[in-house]
Amino acid sequence: MTAMIAIHVIFIRDFISEDLKIKKSAATLVEKLIEDIPSNDIIIDFSNVNSITPEFVHQYLISKRKIKKEIHEVNLPSYVESIISKAQKSIKVR
């Protein structure tokens, strides 16, 4: 018998907004919502995100590091991908 793997998908625009600006909402997303999901594999879908701030991304990445779940981002618009990449580099430097 094969074990089933549960993957949970969160559409970030439905949980927060299509404009991701407030860093507290990033912390809430990861540290409260995702932490309470029983699955260890989480997909964050960035479909239809119109804007994102570097502050939001920075807090999202910091919060993501704190929990012991696999979180994967999908459907990233190119500008979101660019901001995430820059934030990841700055976090690694510190």
Average pLDDT over residues 42-51: 93
* pLDDT score for 29: 82
Mean pLDDT of 59-85: 91
Q: What is the DSSP string of 54-78?
A: HHHHHHHHHHHHHSSSEEEEES--H
Grade residue 4 by pLDDT with cuts at 50, 70 and 90. Answer: low
Amino acid found at 85: S
pLDDT of 33 higher than 90: no
- Judged by DSSP in three states, 73 sits in strand
Total number of domains constituting the chain: 1
pLDDT at 1 over 60: no
Instruction: Identify the domain containing residue 61 by its residue range.
Output: 7-93
Q: Decide if 2 is inside a domain.
A: no
- Give a yes or no: residue 25 inside a domain: yes
Q: What is the pTM of this model?
A: 0.82
Asked if residue 31 has pLDDT above 60, the reply is: yes
